[in-house]
Every structure is written in C-alpha cells, then in structure tokens.
Amino acid sequence: MLVTLKEILADAEEYKYGVGLFNHLDLEMANGIIEAAEEEGSPVILGVAEVHLSTIPFEYAAAIMRKSAEQAKVPVCLHFDHGTDFAKIVKAMQSGFSSVMYDGSALPYEENIANTREISKVAHALGISVEAELGHVGGGEGGADDGHEAMYTKVEQVNDFIKRADIDALAVAIGTAHGEYKFTPKLDLERLAQIYEVSDKPLVLHGGSGLSDDDFRNTVKNGIRKVNICTELCNAAYNSFAASKANGLNFEKAVIEARQAVKNSVIRYMRVFGSSGRYKYTPYNPNKPYVSDEDLHYIF
Ligand SMILES: [Zn+2]
C-alpha cells in the first residue's frame, strides 16, 4: 500500500526502529527493493534522487513505482530524494510521489528555511510529506568527499528549523558522507542523542552506504528512523553484472541475478535497521495497516 513518509515514520518512531530509503536507478533495482520488503514483511521507502533523473525520469518512475507501491503487501513510501529545484520537486508531487525532500543544506540558514517552507506549503496542501536537511552531509548524492564538523547539525537550531520550515522529517549531519567513504566515518552519537531529545519530528541519516552494522544499530538506538542507502545497492547490481559476465551468463540471466543481488542487500539492511517482520505475521488488511504489539518481531 502506498503511504506517506509521515505515516511510515510514525510507526518507526512508536516502535523505535529504522526504515530504509533505497534509491533505485532502474526498474530492476526497484523490483528487487519491493520484493525484499514483501519477503521481509518490512515497510520500505522507495527513492528516486533528482540527480538520477537522467536514468529514471519522472513519468517512468512515478507511474510504475506508484502502481507497485499500491499493490505491495507492505507500506511503501515513494520518495523524491535531494530535490534542489522547485519546479522538479513540484513535478515529482504532480507525478505521484508521496514524499519529497528539499535539500537547501548548502544554503545559508534563513534561505534554507524560506525555500523549504515554500515546498512544505505546496506538499502539505496535497497530503505529501516533506523532508529537509539541517547542517550539511558532504559528498552530494553520487559523489564522495569528507564530512566537515563545521557542517554538522547544530542542536540549538533544530526546533526553530522544524517549526518554521514546517517539515515532517529532518535529515541531520553527524559525520556521515554520501558516496564511497575515503576514511572510516566517525559518528557524533552524542550530538545525535541531543538532537533526538529536542526534535519532535523523525530523524534521517544520509550517507548510509559503507557504515558498519554497529553504526546503524547505534544511530537507530539514538533516534534515527530513516536511513538512506544508494551507493551500496548500485555496487551490488554492478558487481553482480561483472560476475555474471565472467561466468558467461546471458543478459537475461544477468538481469535476474542483479535484481536478486539488490534484493539480498536490501534484506540485510532491513534486518539491521530492525524493520523486518513489522508486517510479517498479520495478513494484509487495508483497514488496519499496522500490526498489533503481539505481532511484533523485534530484531533488537
Ligand atoms: Zn542524501
């Protein structure tokens, strides 16, 4: 079933687990992600990043993804990741995304608030969720550079930002970076705990690819409810194609293998984030989207 980011993260906050946002660049990746969610009985956020619109344009992405989200046996949020362009974000809303991120994190504080607020006004009128970023996660989607401490989220700005930008989820900068890590990331968990303490909206971790399982468990324990994964899934698909070629598989078989590789990777993340099993033991019922407490299957 298609849900908004606000709905999917409300459940994650209530039961203290993390939901993966998995970005996809083509239909096979998307299928692998949805299949993983259904098999694991896990909620999932299916993402398309603005920088990847060259491989997966709106009309293509939204029409097919919305259909598969609606038909899925688990809650699926269709999310537009790292929007920077007002027209493109509005186009995403118009195309059927149930959630959008506006990324004004490279802008001055007041400008970030003003721009985010404009997006929130349009999105909320349409029942669509909004995520925004305070502080700045380095690297840029698909890029790679080090995070800088000066760009970390400032605890004292969190409340003001959430209130004035009128958002549903907050992406924080606590030491992660996008793309491949050139160094072992050192996460500022103390800062995260302080942000969680003052924030009344769910928190989002970007730059998830390359973090250790312990990093994920610790960030979820300290308040992260959405974890963004992109690079690792691209690597899984790409490496799978290379292996298939080396093993002499034809293209059709290689495509199936790549989808399976993405699926396996997603399943592993879902188990680490603790979202696996949320919907496993209750048959799908659109009138009762969330399972009862006794159905819960905790990973940690
Ligand atoms: Zn990101």
Q: pLDDT confidence of 164, banded at 50, 70, 90? A: very high
CA distance 232 to 6: 25
pLDDT reading at 260 higher than 70: yes
φ, ψ of residue 48 to 5 degrees: the values are -130, 125
Buried b (16+ CB within 10 A) or exposed e, 133-169: bbbbbbbbbbebeebeeeebbbbebbeebbeebbbbb
Which pLDDT belongs to residue 289? 44
Which pLDDT belongs to residue 74? 93
Which stretches of the chain are DSSP H helices?
5-15, 27-40, 58-71, 86-95, 109-125, 155-165, 189-198, 213-221, 231-246, 251-273
Ligand 1 centroid to residue 121 C-alpha, Å: 22
Q: CB–CB of 119/112 below 8 Å?
A: no
Ligand 1 centroid to residue 115 C-alpha, Å: 18
Question: Per-residue pLDDT averaged across 245-262, rounded?
Answer: 96
Ligand 1 centroid to residue 145 C-alpha, Å: 13
CA distance 167 to 149: 24
Lowest mean pLDDT of 111-115, 137-141, 199-203, 223-227, name the range.
Answer: 137-141
Lowest mean pLDDT of 69-73, 174-178, 281-285, name the range.
Answer: 281-285
Ligand 1 centroid to residue 215 C-alpha, Å: 17
Q: CB–CB of 202/17 below 8 Å?
A: no
Q: pLDDT confidence of 299, banded at 50, 70, 90? A: very low
Question: Per-residue pLDDT averaged across 227-254, rounded?
Answer: 96
Which pLDDT belongs to residue 58? 84
Say which of 11, 81, 103, 215 is annotated catalytic. Answer: 81
Question: What fold is seen in the domain 2-230+264-295?
Answer: TIM Barrel (3.20.20)
User: Which token pair is 215?
Assistant: 């990093």
User: 2 forms bridges with which residues in the sheet?
Assistant: 76
pLDDT reading at 287 higher than 70: no
User: Which token pair is 113?
Assistant: 């608030």
Ligand 1 centroid to residue 197 C-alpha, Å: 23
Tens of pLDDT, residue by residue over 66-124, are: 999 999 989 999 999 999 999 999 999 999 999 999 999 999 999 999 999 999 999 99
Tens of pLDDT, residue by residue over 25-34, are: 998 999 999 9
Ligand 1 centroid to residue 50 C-alpha, Å: 11
CA distance 212 to 38: 25
Query: Is residue 81 annotated as part of the catalytic site, yes or no?
Result: yes
Which pLDDT belongs to residue 142? 43
Ligand 1 centroid to residue 23 C-alpha, Å: 10
pLDDT reading at 162 higher than 80: yes
